[in-house]
Each structure stands twice: as C-alpha cells, then as structure tokens.
C-alpha cells in the first residue's frame, strides 16, 4: 500500500447518497419553490390588481427597482427549479448514459438561456423600453 488511509469505509460513505449530493438537490428544489411561491404571489397580485396590462403601465411597473428585482429573481428561481425538477425526470426515465448526459447538458443550457433572456429583457424594460 502506497498511502495509508485512516478513514473507515463507513466514514467515507456517510452523508453521501448514490451520487453524493442528493440532499442538496432536494433542499435546493424546496428553497427555490418557496422563493418562486413568494415571487409569483407578489408579481401576479401586483400586476393583475394594480395595472391595466398596457405597455405604458407595464413599463411603469418595471421602472420600480423592487418590482424589476422580484421579476428577475422569479425568472432565475423558475429556471433553477425547472432545471432540478427535469433532472429528476431524466434520471428516472432515461437510462442510456450517453443520452442521459446529453439531456442533462441540454437542460442546463436551457435553464441558463431562460434566465439570460428573462434578465436581459427585464434590464431593458427597467432602463426604459
């Protein structure tokens, strides 16, 4: 034996699921869900009750930094929550390693694209569309 390993097999395995990060996945999914819920309730009620959905009214709504920030965070949380959720769906139904890896990569890119399009649009509206 080249190097001596003092850790027992149990101590190395403890806290690790099948892929070593299942707990974080579950907790992140829930944390994003709570954020999404709060953001959705705020954005939906404030837009549906206090605007007439016209271009001018929406530009005014987005000119408020808090509103623009909530909408940006809502898009980020939606992309993240969607990414984590679809990952589980792919893991459940796709078993061929190459297809699985490609789909996982694709979903990550899709989530990043959703966040980028959303944030860029919100910044543009905020600065005056």
Partner 1 sequence: MADSIQSKPLSPHLQIWRWHVTMTTSILHRATGVANLAAIVVLLAWLAALAAGPEQYAAFQALIGSAFGRLVLFGCLVSVSYHIANGIRHLLFNLGIGLDKKTATISGWVVIVLGFTGAIKMMWLGYRALGH
Cβ(84)–Cβ(29) under 8 Å?
Answer: yes
Q: Does residue 64 come out as left (phi exceeding 0), alpha (psi in the -120 to 50 range) or beta?
A: beta
First to last CA, the chain: 67
Task: Name the minimum Å distance from CB 114 to partner 1.
Answer: 6
What are the structure tokens assigned to 47, written together?
């837009």
Count, residues near partner 1 per rule CB under 8 A:
34
Report if residue 105 touches partner 1, rule: CB under 8 A.
no
Report if residue 112 touches partner 1, rule: CB under 8 A.
no
CA distances from 91 to 19, 45, 84, 86, 99 (A): 12, 36, 11, 9, 11
SS3 at position 29 = helix
Build a one-symbol-per-residue string for 10-29: x at contacts with partner 1 by CB under 8 A, - elsewhere: --------------------
Residues from 34 through 93 that contact partner 1 (CB under 8 A): 34, 37, 40, 44, 47-49, 51-53, 55-56, 58-59, 62, 71, 75, 78-79, 82, 85-86, 89
Binding site for partner 1 (CB under 8 A): 30, 33-34, 37, 40, 44, 47-49, 51-53, 55-56, 58-59, 62, 71, 75, 78-79, 82, 85-86, 89, 114, 117-118, 120-122, 124-125, 129
């Amino acid at each position: 034996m080249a190097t001596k390993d003092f850790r027992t097999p149990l101590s190395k395995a403890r806290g690790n699921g099948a892929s070593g990060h299942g707990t974080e996945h579950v907790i992140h999914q829930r944390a994003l869900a709570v954020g999404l819920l709060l953001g959705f309730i705020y954005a939906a009620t404030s837009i549906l009750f206090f605007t007439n959905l016209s271009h001018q009214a929406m530009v005014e709504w987005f000119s408020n930094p808090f509103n623009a920030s909530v909408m940006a965070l809502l898009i980020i949380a939606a992309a993240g929550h969607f990414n984590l959720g679809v990952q589980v769906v792919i893991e459940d139904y796709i078993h061929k390693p190459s297809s699985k890896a490609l789909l996982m990569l694709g979903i990550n890119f899709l989530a990043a694209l959703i966040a980028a399009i959303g944030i860029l649009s919100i910044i543009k509206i905020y600065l005056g569309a």
